[in-house]
Structure 1
């Protein structure tokens, strides 16, 4: 397991050291627009990708999927590991086949070396003892490089999404406005920030896609860290009413850590008697913690969130 964690940590460093500016990317389906130098009062300024689906027309309006780790979504030629989520291909095919209602995707890049601090759920972190927080801040991805490059600031990241990104998209694109038309999605740490943002802003989103959610929070098993995630969800799950929630996980590479933890999260939804039609937790034996793995099954949560009846 330590080898898995080391390899994953090195790959994350590859992301951080290679992405300081907008990548020139291409999509196979639909159109991609780039919003450069998007200003924020809450987080570092960055760019945004806005994917417009096949058949996009200003005469129609669209629901929106907000996705984390935006650099990894569309074009493997520009990613550190030459993998991608294939969002344009997967979503585009579903739309062309009329299996889902057409929607727009907003890709939000992570904060490079601050990715862990930006995506780690802040309130569960701050519920840990000061001694525990201090110990976590000392963790290194490998010698000389801290796992947390700064203090955890995911509450500000969520504010950035809700108070800055969403208003911009809804004022500049012909989208359906209101919480019932907005969804949030990510994998790994992006899975953590997706459910966390949904719980904190249930009046702003209709659902969350959390793929290969990184329940350990750090890159070693730590029951205290996971317990705070679990407690936070247990304390806040009642805020969710008609929201759709999707979890999934494999059991290879980093995903090998997830099956027992995800089962504990599933039990919270079961005990809450959360409507079966509104949440899913899917297990994919043999699947790894990679963009290729997420691309293979991305159609499942997209159909769950945006699917047309009888499709």
Structure 2
């Protein structure tokens, strides 16, 4: 009880320091199937570089009721393909609207956290896993970063502090939300899958569920003599939260970059089973893209928020 109270005071203090500088506005120049999008430009942070945040609220959103919350990585890729760099999208507003309209899920809002390209690996690669890696694998990751023009300093611990201590308190104070872990989920794909797994492991009191699509176990883009997946699996064996109180969804495709993950999936499934989890779904023919993730988005959303979730 005391620990929870101190945590509450900490996040409230962090929120009050920055909240006066935050302004939001409804987005009008976007193609949405349903709901509305609220945009916050350069959400301030004392932990990481400020970045844009979009909050999607469903049709008939009202303050007189409460909503579950889904925090999603790569937030600029979720809603409108005409605004994305590759002209693809997750179709979050379409799928979420249909599921809620049909009564298949509880009502929820989506907090879309934009990435910053040069910082994506820095923010999303689990820091404690990085610390467990051999110097050879660290060098390999750094070399990959140089080729991709990344900033190589790993600061995912601070990224999660931003989400938990700054962003979530703002969302909970400005939108009508359930604030408990049972109604707070996190989702991402590729490296976004890595940070979503890391978030529920580091903050099980905050996130009750996580969905990790096409999780980038290899860390780099090279499978030869790559021991990075072993570091992830060692971390997960020790740190995944209790399956009696938490839910974790994993999946993977078989084409393009997802093909490089195939050799690890049996071990992933066995590891999850040893911790009491059962979901690591294979999608034959699916590639590593927003189009593929959008085509199967209904499944993880049902897993996170389904009214008949097992």
TM-score by length of 1: 0.86
Does residue 180 in structure 1 map to residue 179 in structure 2? no
Mapped to 1, the partners of 2:253 and 2:186 lie a distance apart of 21
Structure 1 308/240 Cα, relative in aligned 2: closer, same or farther at 3 Å?
closer
Aligned to 2:289: 290
Aligned to 1:119: 124
Mapped to 1, the partners of 2:235 and 2:28 lie a distance apart of 36
- Given that residues 202 and 240 in structure 1 are in contact (C-alpha distance below 8 angstroms), is that contact kept between their aligned partners in structure 2? no
Aligned to 1:300: 299
- Given that residues 201 and 241 in structure 2 are in contact (C-alpha distance below 8 angstroms), is that contact kept between their aligned partners in structure 1? no
Mapped to 1, the partners of 2:289 and 2:169 lie a distance apart of 32
Structure 1 109/238 Cα, relative in aligned 2: closer, same or farther at 3 Å?
closer
* Residue 37 of structure 1: how far off its partner (Å): 2.6
Alignment equivalent of 2:57, drawn from 35, 42, 52 = 52
Mapped to 2, the partners of 1:308 and 1:260 lie a distance apart of 34
- Given that residues 129 and 231 in structure 2 are in contact (C-alpha distance below 8 angstroms), is that contact kept between their aligned partners in structure 1? yes
Aligned to 2:39: 34
Structure 1 59/245 Cα, relative in aligned 2: closer, same or farther at 3 Å?
same
Question: Gaps (5+ residues) in structure 2?
Answer: 1-26
* Residue 177 of structure 1: how far off its partner (Å): 1.4
SS at match of 2:32: coil
* Residue 131 of structure 1: how far off its partner (Å): 4.8
Aligned to 2:279: 280
Structure 1 310/195 Cα, relative in aligned 2: closer, same or farther at 3 Å?
closer
SS at match of 1:138: helix
Q: Deviating runs (4+, > 6 A) in structure 1? A: none
- Residue-by-residue CA offset, 1:94-116 (whole Å, 9 max, x unaligned): 01111111100000001221111
Aligned to 1:152: 154
* Residue 263 of structure 1: how far off its partner (Å): 2.0
Does residue 227 in structure 1 map to residue 226 in structure 2? no
In angstroms, what is the RMSD of aligned CA positions?
A: 1.9
Structure 1 135/248 Cα, relative in aligned 2: closer, same or farther at 3 Å?
closer
Does residue 243 in structure 1 map to residue 242 in structure 2? no
Mapped to 2, the partners of 1:207 and 1:269 lie a distance apart of 14
Mapped to 1, the partners of 2:96 and 2:241 lie a distance apart of 31
Mapped to 1, the partners of 2:207 and 2:60 lie a distance apart of 25
Alignment equivalent of 1:92, drawn from 61, 86, 97 = 97
Alignment equivalent of 2:79, drawn from 65, 74, 94 = 74
TM-score by length of 2: 0.86
Question: Gaps (5+ residues) in structure 1?
Answer: 1-21
* Residue 187 of structure 1: how far off its partner (Å): 0.3
* Residue 262 of structure 1: how far off its partner (Å): 2.4
What is the total number of aligned residue pairs between the two structures?
283
Does residue 264 in structure 1 map to residue 263 in structure 2? no
SS at match of 2:69: strand
Structure 1 137/310 Cα, relative in aligned 2: closer, same or farther at 3 Å?
closer
* Residue 25 of structure 1: how far off its partner (Å): 3.1
* Residue 141 of structure 1: how far off its partner (Å): 6.4
More displaced 10-residue stretch of structure 1: 133-142 or 258-267: 133-142
* Residue 30 of structure 1: how far off its partner (Å): 0.6
- Given that residues 145 and 152 in structure 2 are in contact (C-alpha distance below 8 angstroms), is that contact kept between their aligned partners in structure 1? no
- Residue-by-residue CA offset, 1:223-280 (whole Å, 9 max, x unaligned): 31111001000111255541110001110000101122122111112123x05xxx41
Aligned to 2:11: none
Mapped to 1, the partners of 2:196 and 2:95 lie a distance apart of 20
